[in-house]
């Protein structure tokens, strides 16, 4: 497993892409997806919702548990991934690609996001 170099990471195991026109994509890491097991239900923040860095903005349910989804940044959601709502297993099969969760117009970014190497060390994988 390798964490893509171009992404940044939160300690709640979310990843954040570089912003394009002020909008960044958010997902959970492969490490997190593996820890959850098969994701069977995704409750994602909808377009227009305000999210705050480090606060819950949705939930992911797996066979055995429910996990809160945290936003790695503060801003306004512009799109959630309907493909994941329809087929949550995308989170397991392609956490860094087709399994992205939502796009957010970033207004504020915490300073403590991790680089890929820092996150790899933090998560141990």
Partner 1 sequence: MSTVPRLTALDAVHRALGATMTDFAGWDMPLRYGSERDEHVAVRTKAGLFDLSHMGEITVTGPQAVDFLNFSLVGNIGSIGVGRARYTMICAENGGILDDLIVYRLGEPDAPEYMIVANASNAQNVLDVLRDRAGDFDVEVRDDRDAYALLAVQGPESPGILKSLTDADLDGLKYYAGLPGTVAGVSALIARTGYTGEDGFELFVAPGDAEKLWNALMEAGEPVGLVPAGLSCRDTLRLEAGMPLYGHELTAELTPFDAGLGRVVKFEKTSMSESFVGRAALAAAAERAETAPPRKLVGLIAAGRRIPRAGFSVVADGKVIGEVTSGAPSPTLGKPIAIAYVDAAHAAPGSAGVGVDIRGTHEPYEVVALPFYKRQK
Which residues bind to partner 1, rule: CB under 8 A? 34-35, 37-38, 40-41, 61, 63-64, 66, 89, 92
Query: At its nearest, how many Å lie between partner 1 and the CB of residue 112?
Result: 28
Query: At its nearest, how many Å lie between partner 1 and the CB of residue 37?
Result: 6
CB 15 within 8 A of CB 30: no
E runs forming strands in the chain: 8-9, 14-16, 23-28, 39-43, 50-51, 56-62, 66-70, 74-80, 102-108
Query: At its nearest, how many Å lie between partner 1 and the CB of residue 50?
Result: 21
Query: At its nearest, how many Å lie between partner 1 and the CB of residue 38?
Result: 5
Angle at alpha carbon of residue 109, lines to 76 and 84, rounded to 5°: 50
Q: Nearest Cα to 28, choosing from 96, 105, 118?
A: 96
Compare residues 72 and 99 and give the one whose CB is closer to partner 1. 99
CB 75 within 8 A of CB 53: no
Compare residues 40 and 49 and give the one whose CB is closer to partner 1. 40
The two structure tokens encoding residue 49: 């919702």
Compare residues 16 and 36 and give the one whose CB is closer to partner 1. 36
Compare residues 66 and 117 and give the one whose CB is closer to partner 1. 66
């Amino acid at each position: 497993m390798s964490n893509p170099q171009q992404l940044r990471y939160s300690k709640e195991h979310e990843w954040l892409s570089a912003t394009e026109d002020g909008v960044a994509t958010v997902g959970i890491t492969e490490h997190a997806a593996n820890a959850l097991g098969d994701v069977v239900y995704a409750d994602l923040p909808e377009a227009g919702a305000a999210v705050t860095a480090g606060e819950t903005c949705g939930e992911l349910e797996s066979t055995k548990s429910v996990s809160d989804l945290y936003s790695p940044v503060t801003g306004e959601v512009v799109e959630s991934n309907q493909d994941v709502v329809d087929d949550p297993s995308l989170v397991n099969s392609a956490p860094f690609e087709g399994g992205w969760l939502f796009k957010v117009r970033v207004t504020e970014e915490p300073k403590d996001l991790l680089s890929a190497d820092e996150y790899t060390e933090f998560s141990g994988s």
